[in-house]
A and B are shown apart, each in its own frame.
Chain A
Amino acid sequence: MSARSTSYLAWFKNPKNKDRVLTYVFGLVAIAGFLIVWAVAADFLNIVYLPGPYEVFKAFIASFSTPDPSMGTTMWQNIWASLQRFLYGFIIAFLVAVPLGLLMGFSKGFERIAKPIVEIFRPIPPIAWVSLFLVALGLFWGPIVVIFIGVFFPLLSNVIFGVKSVDKYLIDAAKTLGAKRLQVFTKVIFPSTVPYIMTGITIGLGIGWMCIVAAEMVSVVGGGVGYYIYINGQIGRFADMYGGMVMIAILGIATVGASRFAENRLAARMGMK
């Protein structure tokens, strides 16, 4: 056996590396299996609502170079439009949910005031707000606020949970050392909550992409992947519609993956993992 293959074998025998390789291999096998099942089902059922993976792939690739006949936009333009809306909605949700969550977790009195209002609005799905926001806020801010609603509540919940999960002994130790209330918050509570904030961001990103179609389906300015899915579904161009769904999946995986990577790195650095 060559020196190189010996070194690969030794690398593979490391349980951590082996686990990682097997995760990727099984993941690829699962995706391949899904594509095969999809192709067989499409062929067997032979209905317009379920085009096969190859048809969807062709439509998906073509969408980047050929403007959509209804919208006149390429997929690049739709991605850019959706990304802008998504980022605006996400950033505003972050700027509101994190301070509010820290306050609600830290201050019992504030929690007593804010919690009933939060609990009233939490169960209402973002899609229910679409028509109202469009009329009230217009074509630019309407979809952004729908995404804000989708991201806000999971992020808020995680921040509150993070604050309440701080080890009481750490707080007591800080107080014993003479820390004032604000110092306890800035030196103990807030740093301990950061990993929970990152978890909330990861969850919020996923939900935000789920809200994109709802946010864009009524009307938008400048296109969008969600609107692309909706319009093509409306006029029966199903291969294109599925292509749009694939794009949402890719964008979701990319952003959530990046967030999860950052979350793991931060947790490791802070000794949480």
Chain B
Amino acid sequence: MEKKQRNIVIAIVVVAIVIIAGIGVAVLYKPSNNSKTIYWITVAPINQEAVLKAGTAQGAVGWEPYSSAALLDGNANLLTWSEDVWPNHPCCVLAVKYDSHFPDNATNEDLIARIVRANMDASNWLIQTAATHDQNYTALLQMGAKFSSTPSFPISQAMVADALNHTGYSNDITPQVKGWFVNFTNMFASLNQLNSFGGYSNASNYVNAMINTTYLQKALLVQPSNTILNPKQAVNVGYLNGDLHQFARVIAMNKTLWGGKTLFEKYGVNITSPAAFAGGAAEMNSGFALGIINIGYLGAPPALLLRANSNILVQIVSLVNTEGSAILGDKAITSFDQLVGQTVATPGPGSIQHLLLSYYCQQKGYTLKLKGT
């Protein structure tokens, strides 16, 4: 072998040895054995029951109706509802983003106010029907079951009924709700997931800049319209696939309830929904950031996190729901303490469910780590 080629081979071997040694030290060095660790993996809530059944995870934290579905199917035990950890916590919101294709002008603001009003009416109908079990109750359960079901994972009316017992529907952005948004933002900051407070000095100023309550006030003054005010350019509305937190949108879209029109059409708004999103982060990154949607139903935490990190300048214009998540164990797990050393399926970092799990672990004195690390 020529001298030059031999030198090259020696150099490659030396570099390879250094890299392997470095990796070996990093992998072989184990910190002191922490027996108070719970592990997590990312699994969409619709798949979490299957994962519990298969034994891939021993716990799960997801949103309704999939938590109730797993419980009623007998494949999970309840460890805690989110309302027991964080009473009356907000969850999903309506957020709007203006850009060059959907500019912030009087016309579009009026359309958004009308959408907020449609959501409000749908929420009120939902709250009343769920509370009184009146003649519309069966129709309500059928709508929820149809919305959340897939051929592989059917959802029954009983599951929807149970989900409604643990999910609140509310539109007002009260000082308490704002306080929760500040808490979520600070939690992300303490987890080092937040790059900054979006150019503001603290979480409170950031949240104040993000919330716009004027639409809730305008919505109360909106009147139904016999004509569609935006016939040529629809407002694009995003939502999460199968998520009953956003049940109000499903109800608003039902023409049978509202005399042959959707509630949006009743208030004169032409809307379209390009796609359902798998999660809030996807809705922010793919939906809002790319201009595919103008207004969307999504979890408050991903909206808070990604507005700051990605500069996707959404405004929160309405609350959509409160509570409605649960931490579950598989059939063998009956208390949270039994999850030590086990694996919990979560929708992933950035979601309110993952934040709930992180918080709950911290309260209990446990460490939450990615499985396999």
Q: What is the interface of chain A, defined by CB distance below 8 A to chain B? A: 47-49, 69-74, 76-77, 79-81, 83, 135, 138-139, 218-223, 231, 233-238, 258, 261
Contacts and interface: CB of A to CB of B under 8 A. Distances in A.
Interface of B: 12, 22-23, 26-27, 41-43, 47, 50, 54, 56, 191-193, 195, 281-282, 285, 305-306, 308-311, 348-350, 369-373
B309 A221 contact: no
Given A76-B26, A258-B12, A236 B372 contact: no
A136 to B, nearest CB: 10
Nearest to A79: B23
Contacts of A231: 348-349
A49 B191 contact: no
Given A70-B193, A76-B27, A219-B43, A234 B370 contact: no
A231 B285 CA distance: 12
9 contacts: A71-B373, A76-B26, A76-B27, A80-B23, A80-B26, A139-B41, A221-B371, A234-B282, A258-B12
A234 B285 contact: yes
Contacts of B348: 231, 234
Given A48-B309, A219-B42, A258-B12, A236 B195 contact: yes
Nearest to B1: A265
A222 B309 contact: no
B372 A220 contact: yes
Given A222-B372, A231-B348, A135 B309 contact: no
A48 B310 CA distance: 6
Nearest to B306: A236
Contact of B373 (A48, A73, A79, A83): A73
A47 B193 contact: no
Contact of A77 (B47, B50, B350, B373): B373
A76 B23 contact: yes
Of B27, B50, B308, most buried by chain A (CB within 10 Å of CB) is: B27
Contacts of B23: 76, 79-80, 83
A261 B22 CA distance: 24
A78 to B, nearest CB: 9
Q: Identify the 8 closest CB pairs spanning chains A and B, nearest first.
A: A222-B372, A236-B309, A76-B26, A69-B192, A221-B372, A236-B310, A70-B349, A219-B42
Given A76-B23, A79-B23, A235-B309, A139 B12 contact: no
Given A235-B309, A236-B310, A138 B27 contact: no
Contacts of B369: 72
A77 B371 contact: no
Contacts of A237: 193, 195, 309
A49 B371 contact: no
Contact of A223 (B310, B311, B372): B372
A235 B306 contact: yes
Contacts of B371: 139, 221-222
B2 to A, nearest CB: 11
Nearest to A78: B373
Of A74, A76, A219, A222, most buried by chain B (CB within 10 Å of CB) is: A219
A84 to B, nearest CB: 10
Nearest to B281: A234
Of A73, A76, A138, most buried by chain B (CB within 10 Å of CB) is: A76
Nearest to A131: B47
Contacts of A139: 41, 56, 371
Contacts of A138: 54, 56
B193 A235 contact: yes
B212 to A, nearest CB: 21
A222 B43 CA distance: 15
Nearest to B51: A135
Contacts of A233: 285
B373 A223 contact: yes
Nearest to A48: B311
Contacts of A71: 370, 373
A186 to B, nearest CB: 29
A39 B38 CA distance: 42
B17 to A, nearest CB: 13
Given A76-B22, A221-B41, A234-B350, 16 more contacts: A47-B311, A71-B370, A71-B373, A73-B370, A73-B373, A77-B27, A80-B23, A83-B23, A135-B47, A220-B372, A231-B349, A234-B282, A234-B349, A235-B349, A236-B305, A237-B195
Contact of B41 (A70, A77, A219, A234): A219
A81 B23 CA distance: 10
A133 to B, nearest CB: 13
Nearest to A76: B26
B286 to A, nearest CB: 11
A26 to B, nearest CB: 19
A83 B22 CA distance: 14
Contacts of B12: 258, 261
Contacts of A73: 370, 373
Contacts of B311: 47-48
Of A83, A139, A236, A258, most buried by chain B (CB within 10 Å of CB) is: A236
Contacts of B41: 139, 219-221
Nearest to A75: B26
A216 B43 CA distance: 12
Contacts of B54: 138
Contacts of B309: 48, 235-238
A1 B348 CA distance: 67
B349 to A, nearest CB: 4
A235 B305 contact: yes
A226 to B, nearest CB: 13
Of A49, A83, A231, A235, most buried by chain B (CB within 10 Å of CB) is: A235
Contacts of B310: 48-49, 236, 238
